[in-house]
A and B are shown apart, each in its own frame.
Chain A
Amino acid sequence: MRRVGVFICHCGTNIAATVDCQKVAEAAKSFPGVVFSMDYKYMCSDPGQAVIKEAIKTHNLNRVVVASCTPRMHEPTFRKTLAGAGMNPYLFEMTNLREQCSWVHSDKEKATEKAIDLVKMSVAKVQKNRELFPDYIPINKKALVIGGGIAGMQAALDIADAGYKVTLVEREPTIGGKMPMLDKTFPTMDCSACISTPKMVDVAQHPNIELMSFSEVQEVNGFIGNFDVKIKKKAKYVDYSKCTGCGLCETKCPKKVPNEYDLGMGVRPSIYKPFAQAVPSKPIIDAKNCRKLVNGKCGVCAKVCPTGAVNYEDRDEIISDTFGAIVMATGYDLFKWEGAYGEYGYGKFPDVITGLQFERMVNASGPTGGKIIRPSDGEEPKTVAFIKCVGSRDPLKGKITCSRACCMYTAKHAHQVLDKISESKAYVFYMDVRTVGKGYEEFYENTLHDKAVYVRGRVSKIYQEGKKLILKAEDTLSCKAIQVKADLVVLATAMVPSAGSRELAQIVGFLPDLNGWYQEAHPKLRPVETPTGGVFLAGTCQGPKDIPDSVAQAGAAAAKVMGLFSNEQLETNPMTAKVNETICSGCGTCAPLCPYKAIQLIDVQERVHGKFVERKVAHVNNGLCQGCGACTVACRPGAIDLQGYQNDQILEEVDALWAW
């Protein structure tokens, strides 16, 4: 015998202004199965919930319908109320009278009629609802951080400091990312390497962190609390257990190639550390350029190595491990302007460089020892022009997005030019100056007072005239066509998602946004989580950011991981898909449709005419299933049903609308 209680909420005047709540409550009394019905001003309030509990007891209710706001808002609230009254929380139905009725209608009479129909449907469905019970899955309290830039390092350190094990995977030979490449950081002019390299050392020495440099994540299976991950350790050709990092091999290597770390402005040997403070502080062999590995003739490094650490036979290795949470910290790359901006010379003018090249140049440990020079002739430039938004805010050639850090680093570069080169001039071409961080506007003002000339307008063309570069633009503030003869041009190129980040997202099991940045679960309220449970975001992989924001987000992601790890086990949502194996034909249509990779085909044994036969059926992993229902509609034999939204429940709703 079903005994249904119906509770109609006024939501102040949100519902009551357009729906006659008393009339709805009155009408509900006549629905089959309803033994109690009432209306109340705020059902979600403490006294409102007390009324529900009291009614459950007095009227011996075994089904409850609350007609109020959206279930996204208060379904968990009322489920708890039922549980508090000793009922299974899934013997409950919520009718949305606000978003789907009162807020979208103005005719009170008709809205009330619709409200009665909506409640009618819920009353019908709730009588078919069954008790549901959550599953519990264990949590593997070990985190995987992908990417060893400042965000990845910070997240790894924070999680490790909380006492949990962390594996940090970095695809480059050293951790650190872009930050140690920079000279000084705005607005405080801290030496970038001085504040980032100690963090690199901390990561390497932390007892809870396992550092896997020169490695890449290849495969991720499983779900929150239990990710099975395969990591490829790329061949380094140096046995790190023997190598002492003495550096002798690097000095003797005969094959020099352009140094990626200095963006091609210097050279490095083929057995190398990217830079002096690299962590791990041991070299790798660049297999593409090493003479021994390419044509078998050389082997100098093996000969000079005092510990016999060089191993030309080294091969890639696949490591498997299980993690409870994954932090994505894959960072950014710079927009390849050379392929897009013909008006700036497609990269054929040697004295048109990027901001990051400028950073390497002005850095005391960079290829020029901190001297700002023209790459073409090595002379000191007297007039330096800066162009902002190269690839940013340019939907045609680059990205529609603002890269957020360029306004500030350009202000810093202009300041450095005026500071380091006497009698120099700096021109900054901009569209807007965006100084959103703490102390940033003040920094920009200082640069203005250094007499950097800011010209509001995009440069339309750069061409060479003798040794000079001619820039043409309009100063839109004075409406004048202007021209600057510069010795050096620095482009503030856009931040774009790092190479391979889209593929990696697919491997881990979530989707990037339209621009390729990693999509957060909610732009305001869940900014460090992905829609995939247990996968979190840190730093610029989520969108362009500066260092303080990256570090802050990394801390937030780490806090989310710690929150997850503070539980012994995880309660799953019982409203997941369930396969009726007796009628599943094993066609497998459902599996590729599942956006959460929750369906697999498994073998089952059956007795048919006295014989055991084996056949395939679909199986839903409750930890992964998010209850979206995509599989249920695709299933031809109708073998998959979504718990809480089962076919008979839905049909009962539809029937009630016409039959009652």
Chain B
Amino acid sequence: MKEVELAIAAKQNRAEIHAIEKKSGVELTDCYQCGKCSAGCPVAFAMDKTPRQIIRLLQLGLLEEALASRTIWLCATCQTCVARCPKEVDLPSLMEVVRQTAKKRGFVAEKDINLFNDIFLQNVKTFGKSPEVILSALYNLRSGHLFQDVDSVPHLFLSGKAHVLPEKVKNVDAIKKIFAKCTEGGEHS
């Protein structure tokens, strides 16, 4: 097992971890590692590290290891963890900010999820919502998974769940303003 020098790790990453805490509103020392979040997480089965372990890594200053984890990409933001956390640690918010940091630092452990997120947000920015057809077409093309879920296409069209022409919300400008506010101080995700 590789040995970790705690004092050095803490020193190198102190500022960045502090920024993550500030942005997410999570105080890492609040977590006492009881594991209730991870025990109830519906996606934990697919994660390489449990959500609790992500917090532990950040507590110890081992930022890179947290950023390189698939866990932060797999979090579905379902909020089950925070609803049950005895210390009200807002894990989904923390995961979001850690994801942003990972992207900035070039750690993207789940390229497809990252791509999906990007296309989704671009759609929302353009149309005010994310049209299913455009989302799946762009995702399949850019990810190279050309035929992913195509068997359900006829059914979606016939049942009126998907439309060829994208709908727009009435006031797209308002949405753009929201994006501008959210990305103040730099583009992310």
Instruction: Using CB atoms and an 8 Å cutoff, list the residues of chain A in contact with chain B.
Output: 383, 425, 427, 445, 448-449, 451, 453, 455-456, 472, 475, 477-478, 480-486
Stretch at the interface among B53-61, B115-123, B180-188: B53-61
B29 and chain A: residue at smallest CB distance: A448
Question: B6 to A481, Cβ gap below 8 A?
Answer: no
Q: Which of B1, B5, B8, B56 contacts A477 (CB 8 A)?
A: B56
Q: Which of B3, B7, B27, B60 contacts A478 (CB 8 A)?
A: B60
Given A475-B56, A478-B56, A478-B57, A449:B7 Cβ within 8 A: no
Question: A484 to B6, Cβ gap below 8 A?
Answer: yes
Q: What are the 6 closest A-B residue pairs judged by CB atoms, nearest first?
A: A448-B29, A478-B56, A481-B1, A482-B4, A481-B3, A484-B6
Question: A485 to B2, Cβ gap below 8 A?
Answer: no
Q: Which of A448, A453, A456, A481 contacts B10 (CB 8 A)?
A: A453
Is B143's beta carbon under 8 Å from chain A? no
Q: Which residues of B contact A383 (CB under 8 A)?
A: 7
Question: B27 to A481, Cβ gap below 8 A?
Answer: no
Closest beta carbon of chain A to B26's beta carbon, Å: 13
Q: Which residues of A contact B10 (CB under 8 A)?
A: 425, 453
Q: Which residues of B contact A483 (CB under 8 A)?
A: 3-6
A-B contact pairs, 29 of them (CB 8 A): A427-B6, A445-B29, A448-B30, A449-B29, A451-B29, A453-B59, A453-B60, A453-B61, A455-B60, A456-B33, A475-B56, A477-B52, A477-B53, A477-B56, A478-B56, A478-B57, A478-B62, A480-B1, A480-B4, A480-B60, A480-B62, A481-B2, A481-B3, A482-B60, A483-B6, A484-B7, A485-B5, A485-B8, A486-B7
In the bound complex, CA of A245 to CA of B1 (Å): 63
Q: Which of B27, B61, B62 contacts A449 (CB 8 A)?
A: B27
In the bound complex, CA of A475 to CA of B33 (Å): 12
How many of B's residues come within 8 Å of A, CB to CB?
A: 21
Q: A425-B7, A481-B2 are in contact. List 11 more A-B contacts (CB 8 A).
A: A427-B7, A449-B27, A451-B29, A455-B6, A455-B60, A478-B53, A481-B1, A481-B3, A484-B5, A484-B6, A484-B7
A427 and chain B: residue at smallest CB distance: B6
Q: Which residues of A contact B60 (CB under 8 A)?
A: 453, 455, 475, 478, 480, 482
In the bound complex, CA of A481 to CA of B62 (Å): 12
Q: Which residues of A contact B2 (CB under 8 A)?
A: 481
In the bound complex, CA of A482 to CA of B5 (Å): 6
In the bound complex, CA of A46 to CA of B92 (Å): 65
B61 and chain A: residue at smallest CB distance: A453
In the bound complex, CA of A482 to CA of B7 (Å): 10
In the bound complex, CA of A484 to CA of B3 (Å): 10
In the bound complex, CA of A425 to CA of B9 (Å): 12
In the bound complex, CA of A455 to CA of B10 (Å): 13
Closest beta carbon of chain B to A466's beta carbon, Å: 14
B57 and chain A: residue at smallest CB distance: A478
Q: Mark B1-35, 1 if CB is under 8 A from A, else 0.
A: 11111111010000000000000000101100100
Q: Which residues of A contact B59 (CB under 8 A)?
A: 453
Q: How many cross-chain pairs have Cβ atoms below 8 Å apart between A and B?
A: 55
Q: Which residues of A contact B29 (CB under 8 A)?
A: 445, 448-449, 451
A480 and chain B: residue at smallest CB distance: B4
In the bound complex, CA of A481 to CA of B57 (Å): 13
Closest beta carbon of chain A to B13's beta carbon, Å: 13
Identify the interface centre among B5, B29, B61: most chain A CB within 10 Å of its CB: B29
In the bound complex, CA of A427 to CA of B57 (Å): 15
In the bound complex, CA of A455 to CA of B61 (Å): 12
A471 and chain B: residue at smallest CB distance: B6
In the bound complex, CA of A449 to CA of B87 (Å): 13
Closest beta carbon of chain B to A618's beta carbon, Å: 64
In the bound complex, CA of A475 to CA of B30 (Å): 18
In the bound complex, CA of A362 to CA of B146 (Å): 69
Closest beta carbon of chain A to B83's beta carbon, Å: 22
Q: Which residues of B contact A480 (CB under 8 A)?
A: 1, 4, 60, 62
Q: Which residues of B contact A425 (CB under 8 A)?
A: 7, 10
Question: B33 to A477, Cβ gap below 8 A?
Answer: yes
Q: Which residues of A contact B7 (CB under 8 A)?
A: 383, 425, 427, 484-486
A487 and chain B: residue at smallest CB distance: B7
B52 and chain A: residue at smallest CB distance: A477
Q: Which residues of B contact A427 (CB under 8 A)?
A: 6-7
Q: Which residues of B contact A475 (CB under 8 A)?
A: 56, 60
Question: B3 to A482, Cβ gap below 8 A?
Answer: yes
B33 and chain A: residue at smallest CB distance: A477
Identify the interface centre among A427, A448, A485: most chain B CB within 10 Å of its CB: A448
Q: Which residues of A contact B62 (CB under 8 A)?
A: 478, 480
Closest beta carbon of chain B to A404's beta carbon, Å: 20
Identify the interface centre among B6, B30, B62: most chain A CB within 10 Å of its CB: B6
Identify the interface centre among B7, B8, B29: most chain A CB within 10 Å of its CB: B7
Closest beta carbon of chain A to B89's beta carbon, Å: 13
Closest beta carbon of chain A to B47's beta carbon, Å: 15
Q: Which residues of A contact B8 (CB under 8 A)?
A: 485
Closest beta carbon of chain A to B20's beta carbon, Å: 15
Closest beta carbon of chain B to A503's beta carbon, Å: 44
A454 and chain B: residue at smallest CB distance: B59
Closest beta carbon of chain B to A239's beta carbon, Å: 57
In the bound complex, CA of A486 to CA of B4 (Å): 14
Closest beta carbon of chain B to A459's beta carbon, Å: 12
Q: Which residues of A contact B5 (CB under 8 A)?
A: 482-485
In the bound complex, CA of A234 to CA of B80 (Å): 70
Closest beta carbon of chain A to B36's beta carbon, Å: 14
In the bound complex, CA of A481 to CA of B1 (Å): 7
Q: Which residues of A contact B56 (CB under 8 A)?
A: 475, 477-478
In the bound complex, CA of A420 to CA of B2 (Å): 34
A451 and chain B: residue at smallest CB distance: B29
In the bound complex, CA of A472 to CA of B10 (Å): 16
B4 and chain A: residue at smallest CB distance: A482
Closest beta carbon of chain A to B91's beta carbon, Å: 16
Closest beta carbon of chain B to A486's beta carbon, Å: 8
In the bound complex, CA of A477 to CA of B52 (Å): 9
A450 and chain B: residue at smallest CB distance: B29
Question: A481 to B33, Cβ gap below 8 A?
Answer: no
In the bound complex, CA of A617 to CA of B52 (Å): 76
Q: Which residues of B contact A472 (CB under 8 A)?
A: 3
Closest beta carbon of chain B to A440's beta carbon, Å: 14
